Amino acid sequence: MTPAETTTSSGALLVLAILLPSAGILASFALGGRNAERIALGSAPLALAIALSVLAEVWRAGRPIVYAIAGLSPPLGIALRADGISAVMLVTSALIIPAAGLYARAGFATPPAERESRKAFTFWIMLQAISAALAIIFVSGDLFNLYVALELLTFAALPLACVEGRAETFAAALRYLLFALFGSIFYLLGAALLYGAFGTLDIALLAERMRPLPAVTAAAALMSAGLLAKTALFPLHLWLPPAHANAPAPASAVLSGLVVKGSFFLTLRLWFYVLPALPAVGFDAILGALGSGAVVFGSVLALMQPRLKLLIAYSTIAQIGYLFLIFPLGSGLHAWTADGWNGGLMQVLAHAFAKAAMFLAAGVLYESLGHDKIAKFSGAAKAMPMTFLTLGLGGLSLMGLPPSGGFAAKWLLLRASVASGQWVWALVLLVGGLLAAGYVYRILAPALSSDPVALKAPPRRAGEAIALSLALVAVVLGFAPESFFQLLDIGRPALATAGLP
Amino acid sequence: MTAFGPIFPAATLAVPTAFLVAVFFPRLRDSALALQWVAPIPALAAAIFALACGPFALDAPALKLSLWLDLPTALLLAVSALLWIAVGAGAFFDRVERPEPRAAVSWLLTMIGSLGVFVADDLLSFYLVYALVSIPAYGMFAFDPSPGTARAGRVTMAFAILGEAFLLFAFGMLAAGEPHGSLRIPDVVAALPGSPWRDAALALLVAGFGAKMGLVPLNGWTPLSYAATRIPAAAVLSGAGVKAGVIGLIRFLPLGVPMAGWGEALAVLGFATAFYGVAIGVTQQNPKAVLAYSSMSQMGVIAAALGMALAAGDANAPALVACYAANHVLVKGALFLAVGAFAARGVRPGAWSLIALVLALSLAGLPLTGGALAKAASKPLFGYGVAAALAAASSAGSALLMVHFVSRLPFSWRFDATASPVRLVRSWPWFAGAALLLPYVLFPLVGSFGDALSPSKLWDALWPILVGGLLAVWLARVADRLPRIPPGDMIVFGEAAFDRCLASATLFDRIDLAFRGWPAAGLALLAIALALAYATANAG
Amino acid sequence: MSPPIIAGFVGAGLVGLGLYALIVNPEPLKKLLAFNLIGSGVFLVFGIVARRGAVGVFPFDPVPQAMVITGIVVAFAASALAVALMLRLAEESGRVTLDPDAWTKPDDGAEGP
């Protein structure tokens, strides 16, 4: 048994990370009514504590934490494995999900007269289900287990998207479901082929046994394509704008901030952890090209949207494009690979927080103004300064201006692309930044004027505060110290093949 | 004393930040705004300290921050801080005329950036403060509206962001070219001449800093911007804000290494800008627009000087150019205040007009003024050949432009955004005096009086003024036959091109519509799978 | 032509037919059926993998069988969810279509939270 598969100390933390929200779901069903909300919010600090403990453990040990379920190591059993990026993503999800939950207390509380309302009950259970699914995605080490987690994530995200119960949300959710199923069945087919070729679906074992075979080629292509469909990479983005724009604000925040990152995380696992032994350079270019297309396309379309939520949704499509630049810039073992890897992951984190903040701010805006038509924002910033400050800070990160996590990510990716001679990605980064400045300007400029504006209701202070704190996290990420990037490198396979721990 | 040295550069940034934070607390807001002219004082102290005791540095690797003050940077920091203090005191003192808190926040953010560019010593903090000096300035348009601010704000922001993009690309190349991974400016600049990306990096640096300075062809925003902002904001932006570009060129050009090609190219660009500014400036009616074109022209001269220095590999250039730029900070600030003063009081022949004329001509190098000393400081950079002749010609052009400006001063009240706070109006002659005399204090640091005030040098300074004056007389006669060029000249082409780009966005909409259909998206999915399979198979 | 190879062709054929229907047919219910068809093809592939993994006394590798069972459950849940969505959509609006222009009202900011 290689060290990668035996349970390390404190491996049980990984199981706790998954069990806590799952137990919460069961308890919510059992106890019913208002307790769903109480359990969801009450378990949030515990989830954060577990995530932080995992982070501390990984940092202290300097290597991934492993837990073999039921003491059975792969290939017989399933191993949970948390390396640097898993830990960081666990903490991110443990921060954003409660934030969305706290924001949603106003809109999704069970009405006092009823014992149980379908809307509230669904919302709180699905929130916990997303939490559980993400936990599995971030720590599981088995490809089939990840398939189940991916499906769980989709099935949990769906009701959140259409919990409001209007016709267009159902239609958007149906499109999301059918396209996501299209993607995941491809993934399953690929997994079948991989199992047929190597007899295991454990990530570490597959990496050891990997060699170029026609089955592997087909599997890699199928699984990637399926995951790309779930991550809404251009041109497979058709489901994202209506789903994210029509969902309630806290749901959009979680959908854009975390759910699309789940399938992206799997793509990383697939290409960097399972398949790196494969001598394939072409796929980097294809993923990078698609990512560049997404950046330009999403940004230009965001510039043209009349509604704020649709603009933010198209901006998500653009920012997802940046994520895929990690493939040409972070693969292999070159001098610039560390920059590419760190930059890509920093972009994941910065975008998660910034986008969640922007969707929550958009929600506060809609409640106060009664609409989210950008053309009618004149003078709104004076009436709702905190909301527009949040939109501005989130926009700062999206544009990639200092100080923000978005800038840190952009700088690292830029350095990597210059050092590797792949100038085209540098151009993409810069053009994307210019276009992002364009649509952020579109949101903020009319609002800053001094025209009077009629508010339907005063802005909700609690909602504004939550959105602002998420945006501040996105800004603070820009000051991440060197040790943060060392943490992200823990468990990175390229280093493993070089003989480093 | 030296033990306390590093505190000053830190305080340069920390104190204005503290004021900024205080504005957000309602109880502290009033006092913070009334006293915000105190914020640049540590910067001034730091600069004086550096000028007196020599360069010093502050390194904080934990914060990824390095600060540095030496002669050129301290010179510019000192005069910029003075300008911010003086204009801030006048603009914020009286509660009635004080800008609203949102505009004050923009003011403070721009101040932090403007002072910070002179002390930042590593790539990332420089980029941060450079962004601060460019982007929050939008608030000065948005919150103090007058007609035309919307367009001016849009155009200014577009150029600011474009310049930032160029600079980011250049910084990426600089960082990649530095073999030890250091991000400190001296290290990356030292590595630049040998870097494989030298040419691209230099081009992008010039483009990025040129966008800030208003070098042709990135100059369209300058006149629009200054014509639309109120007097206090225009004074600090054109005085201290633009110098961020100047200090950028000074610090990032590898001046110790002779690069004939790039140096000459930069010099050509600089002189072209200098004469272009004069040519368009004389057609302008709005005195603020004339001042903007004059700034453009002066920045062109600075760029030309740096170009000559780069071609020759002159490492002493920074101090000389900084002295020239420092004079421009003071004079330009005072000239904008003059516009405000004349707009408030109407035509005042006599003392004020005379002061304005002397002040304006000092920019062209009128003998015995501070401007003459500044010109004397920059003369060695131009040598004796064509460049020197062009420099003299540009002085004549400046003189022409400045006389035109003084002739337009009495009409200031006709134009928008010329209102000025009462204190600034009343005290502007003192500003003018300071602008004329302060260079006498600064000049000994870079040159000697005896040489600069010798009769031959005085004549060298005087004859371009006389030529300019004669041209001005001729200009007055042909004034009605001059074309009416709107401020911003080439920007209309830029805006037209931008509109056409926006039209192409409908193409993207059609693509989106196509891929929103299920068959297209489904086929795309299959196509991607096949492409990935092909790529994986072929590489193996 | 051993059974696994025939099964392989059948599986590939099912996946192909399902893909065709999924991409071309506009009705959501047909797409759902197409998805189930693809699913059947994939499970068949799993079956072949199980047969080829025969080792020792076991004529079939049990792990792919476990995966198939899990897959069937997941596909069942997915189908149930999709049908529920279609029923609610029909209830709310009377028509079930995935056409993007049927629902998007880009200029109307009055809808949407």
Predicted confidence (pLDDT) per residue in B141-159, tens digit? 777 666 677 788 888 888 8
Q: What is the mean pLDDT of residues B159-179?
A: 89
Neighbours of A (≥3 Cβ pairs closer than 8 A)? B, C
Closest CA of chain B from C56, distance in Å: 34
Give the residues across from B120 on adjacent strands.
B67
Percent of chain C predicted with pLDDT > 90: 43
B522 interaction partners in chain C (CB closer than 8 Å): 19, 22-23
Q: Is residue A159 part of a domain?
A: no
- When CB atoms are compared, the residue of A189, A238, A310 closest to C42 is A189
Q: Is residue A113 part of a domain?
A: no
Nearest CA-CA partner of B124 in B63, B178, B177? B63
Give me the pLDDT at residue C81, please: 94
- B131 to A297: CB separation less than 8 angstroms, yes or no: no
Give me the pLDDT at residue B419, please: 74
Closest CA of chain A from C96, distance in Å: 8
Residue B128 CB-half CA count within 13 A: 23
Alpha-carbon distance of B296 to B490, in angstroms, equals: 14
pLDDT tens-digit series, residues A144-157: 999 999 999 999 99
pLDDT tens-digit series, residues A393-435: 999 999 998 889 999 999 999 999 998 888 899 999 999 999 9
CB-CB neighbours of B131 under 10 Å: 24
| A225: nearest CA partner in chain B | B529
Phi, psi of B68 (to 5 degrees): -155, 140
Give me the pLDDT at residue B505, please: 78
For B448, the token pair is 């000697």
End-to-end CA distance of chain C: 59
Alpha-carbon distance of C105 to C113, in angstroms, equals: 14
Quick one: residue A125, left, alpha or beta (phi over 0 = left, psi -120 to 50 = alpha)?
alpha
Phi, psi of B60 (to 5 degrees): -130, 80
- When CB atoms are compared, the residue of B162, B197, B529 closest to A186 is B529
pLDDT tens-digit series, residues A43-82: 999 999 999 999 999 999 888 888 888 877 777 788 899 9
- When CB atoms are compared, the residue of C22, C78, C103 closest to A242 is C103
Alpha-carbon distance of A381 to A373, in angstroms, equals: 14
- B522 to C98: CB separation less than 8 angstroms, yes or no: no
Give me the pLDDT at residue B5, please: 60
CB-CB neighbours of B92 under 10 Å: 22
Q: Give the position of tokens 């294809």.
A: A286
Task: Find out whether A81 and A141 touch, Cβ atoms under 8 Å.
Answer: yes
* pLDDT tier at C110, thresholds 50, 70, 90: very low
Nearest CA-CA partner of A138 in A86, A187, A175, A99? A86
Alpha-carbon distance of A246 to A240, in angstroms, equals: 10
Percent of chain A predicted with pLDDT > 70: 96
Residue B114: what residue type? S
Closest CA of chain C from B498, distance in Å: 24
Q: Is residue A104 part of a domain?
A: no
Query: Longest C-alpha distance within chain A, in Å?
Result: 70
| A145: nearest CA partner in chain C | C67
Give me the pLDDT at residue A177, please: 93
* pLDDT tier at C109, thresholds 50, 70, 90: very low
For B8, the token pair is 């000053």
Alpha-carbon distance of A341 to B64, in angstroms, equals: 20
Q: Domains of chain C (ranges plus CATH)? A: 3-95 (1.10.287.3510)
Task: Find out whether A400 and A436 touch, Cβ atoms under 8 Å.
Answer: yes
- A170 to C112: CB separation less than 8 angstroms, yes or no: no
Give me the pLDDT at residue A1, please: 40
Q: Is residue A398 part of a domain?
A: yes
Percent of chain B predicted with pLDDT > 70: 95
* pLDDT tier at C54, thresholds 50, 70, 90: confident
B162 interaction partners in chain A (CB closer than 8 Å): 434
C86 interaction partners in chain A (CB closer than 8 Å): 174
CB-CB neighbours of A134 under 10 Å: 30
Domains in chain A, number? 1
- B523 to C23: CB separation less than 8 angstroms, yes or no: yes
Q: Give the position of tokens 């287990």.
A: A145
Alpha-carbon distance of A95 to A92, in angstroms, equals: 5
CA distances from A151 to A129, A179, A184 (A): 11, 12, 7
Residue B99 CB-half CA count within 13 A: 30
How many interchain CB pairs under 8 A, B with C? 15
Note the pTM of the prediction, 2 decimals: 0.90
| Residue A501 pLDDT greater than 50, yes or no | no
Q: Is residue A308 part of a domain?
A: yes
Q: What is the mean pLDDT of residues B373-394?
A: 81
pLDDT tens-digit series, residues B353-367: 788 888 888 888 887
| Residue A120 pLDDT greater than 70, yes or no | yes
- A419 to B522: CB separation less than 8 angstroms, yes or no: no
- Pairing mode of beta strands A79-82, A65-68: antiparallel
| A241: nearest CA partner in chain C | C104
> Radius of gyration (Cα) for chain B, nearest Å?
24
- Pairing mode of beta strands B56-60, A65-68: unpaired
Interface of A with B in 442-471 (CB under 8 A): 445, 448-450
Closest CA of chain B from A178, distance in Å: 10
Alpha-carbon distance of C61 to C40, in angstroms, equals: 19
Give me the pLDDT at residue B528, please: 86
Please tell me if residue C87 touches chain A, with a CB cutoff of 8 Å: no
Task: Find out whether A188 and A222 touch, Cβ atoms under 8 Å.
Answer: no
* pLDDT tier at C39, thresholds 50, 70, 90: very high
| B518: nearest CA partner in chain C | C23
pLDDT tens-digit series, residues B418-461: 777 777 777 888 888 888 888 888 877 777 776 666 777 777 77
DSSP C26: -
More confident residue, B479 or A262: A262
- C70 to A249: CB separation less than 8 angstroms, yes or no: no
* pLDDT tier at C75, thresholds 50, 70, 90: very high
For A252, the token pair is 């959009």
Alpha-carbon distance of B42 to A257, in angstroms, equals: 43
Q: Give the position of tokens 């590898």.
A: B254
CA distances from A207 to A156, A194, C93 (A): 31, 11, 50
Q: Alpha helix (H) ranges present in C25-110?
A: 28-52, 62-93, 100-103
Neighbours of B (≥3 Cβ pairs closer than 8 A)? A, C
- A280 to B539: CB separation less than 8 angstroms, yes or no: yes
- Tell me which of A72, A185, A304, A456 to substitute to probe the interface with C (most C C-beta atoms closer than 10 Å): A185
| Residue A323 pLDDT greater than 80, yes or no | yes
Alpha-carbon distance of A468 to A459, in angstroms, equals: 13
| Residue A500 pLDDT greater than 60, yes or no | no
Task: Find out whether A406 and A422 touch, Cβ atoms under 8 Å.
Answer: no
Q: What is the mean pLDDT of residues B20-45?
A: 83
pLDDT tens-digit series, residues B259-311: 888 888 999 999 999 999 888 888 888 888 899 999 999 999 999 989 888 88
More confident residue, A217 or A91: A91
Q: Which domain holds residue A390?
A: 295-493
- C92 to A167: CB separation less than 8 angstroms, yes or no: yes
Instruction: Work out the angle between the directed axes of helices B491-516 and A282-304 (0-180°, nearest 10).
Output: 110
Closest CA of chain B from C29, distance in Å: 14
Nearest CA-CA partner of B89 in B534, B520, B412, B430? B430
Q: Is residue A48 part of a domain?
A: no
Give SS3 for B68.
strand
DSSP B480-519: GGS--PPTTTTHHHHHHHHHHHHHHHHHHHHHHHHHHSHH
CA distances from C12 to A369, B525, C48, C65, C104 (A): 54, 18, 12, 19, 37
Is omega for the bond preceding A21 within 30 degrees of 0, making it cis? no
Residue B515 CB-half CA count within 13 A: 23
Task: Find out whether B240 and B209 touch, Cβ atoms under 8 Å.
Answer: no
Q: Is A120 exposed, middle or buried (0-12, 13-18, 19+ CB in 10 A)?
A: buried
Residue B304: what residue type? A
Please tell me if residue C6 touches chain B, with a CB cutoff of 8 Å: no
CB-CB neighbours of B54 under 10 Å: 13
The average confidence (pLDDT) of chain B is 83
DSSP B54: -
- A402 to B128: CB separation less than 8 angstroms, yes or no: yes
Q: What is the mean pLDDT of residues A269-296?
A: 84
| A433: nearest CA partner in chain B | B165
Q: Is residue A111 part of a domain?
A: no
Q: Is residue A222 part of a domain?
A: no
Give me the pLDDT at residue C102, please: 62
